[in-house]
Amino acid sequence: MKDIENFEFIDRMSDSDALMWSIEKDPLLRSTIVTVSTFEGSLDHDRVRHQVDFMSRAIPRLRQRVRANPLSIAPPRWEFDPYFDLAYHLRFVTVSEGATLHDVLSMAEPIGMQGFDRARPLWEFTVVDGLADGTSAVIIKIHHSITDGVGGMKLQLALFNLSPDDPTPELPDAPEIHVLSQPERVADAVSHESRRSAGMFADWAKRGLGGVLGVLTDPVGALADAEELSGSVVRMIKPASPMSPLITERSLSVRFDTLQFPLAQAKGAAKASGGRLNDAFIGGLALGLRRYHEAHARNVGALRMNMPINIRNQTIGNQAGNAFIPARVEVPLHPDDPAEIMKKVRTAVLSARDDPANDLMELLSNGLNRLPTSMTSSLFGAMLKGNDFTASNVPGAPIPIYLVGQRMLSQYAFGPNAGSAMNFTLVSYADECFIGANIDPVAVPDPDVLMLCVQKGFDEVLSLSPTS
Catalytic residue numbers, as ranges: 144
| Rounded Cα distance, 152 and 411, in Å | 13
Are 311 and 323 within 8 A, CB to CB?
yes
Query: Which residue, 117, 101, 99, is CA-closest to 109?
Result: 101
Q: How many helices and strands (H and E) does the chain possess?
A: 13, 14
**pLDDT at residue 218 greater than cutoff 60:** no
Q: Which residue has the higher pLDDT, 194 or 442?
A: 442
Q: What is the pLDDT of residues 377-428, one digit of tens each?
A: 777 777 788 899 999 999 999 999 999 999 999 999 999 998 999 999 999 9
Which pLDDT does position 205 carry in this prediction? 56
Q: What is the pLDDT of residues 441-460, one digit of tens each?
A: 999 999 999 999 999 999 99
Are 110 and 252 within 8 A, CB to CB?
no
Q: What does DSSP say about strands 324-332 and 255-262: parallel, antiparallel, or unpaired?
A: unpaired
Give the confidence band of 1 by pLDDT, cuts at 50, 70, 90: very low
Least confident of 65-69, 112-116, 310-314: 310-314
Least confident of 236-240, 250-254, 439-443: 236-240
Are 171 and 57 within 8 A, CB to CB?
yes
Q: Where are the beta strands (DSSP E) in 4-99?
A: 32-39, 64-67, 77-80, 90-99
| Rounded Cα distance, 13 and 64, in Å | 12
**pLDDT at residue 351 greater than cutoff 90:** no
Q: What stretches of 66-148 show up as alpha helix (H) in DSSP?
A: 86-89, 101-113
Give the confidence band of 212 by pLDDT, cuts at 50, 70, 90: very low
Which pLDDT does position 311 carry in this prediction? 62
Q: What 3-state DSSP class applies to 392?
A: strand
Are 150 and 394 within 8 A, CB to CB?
yes
Amino acid at 209: L
- The stretch 125-132 carries a mean pLDDT of 95
Please give the torsion angle defined by the CA atoms of residues 341, 329, 415 and 137, in that order, rounded to the nearest 10 degrees: 20
CA quadruple 141, 146, 150, 153: dihedral sign: negative
**pLDDT at residue 209 greater than cutoff 50:** no
Which pLDDT does position 390 carry in this prediction? 96
Looking at the DSSP assignment, which residues form a beta bridge with residue 413?
A: 35
Query: Which residue, 152, 163, 160, is CA-closest to 47?
Result: 160
**pLDDT at residue 298 greater than cutoff 60:** yes
What is the share, in percent, of the chain residues with pLDDT greater than 70? 79
Q: What stretches of 238-358 show up as alpha helix (H) in DSSP?
A: 263-272, 277-295, 338-353
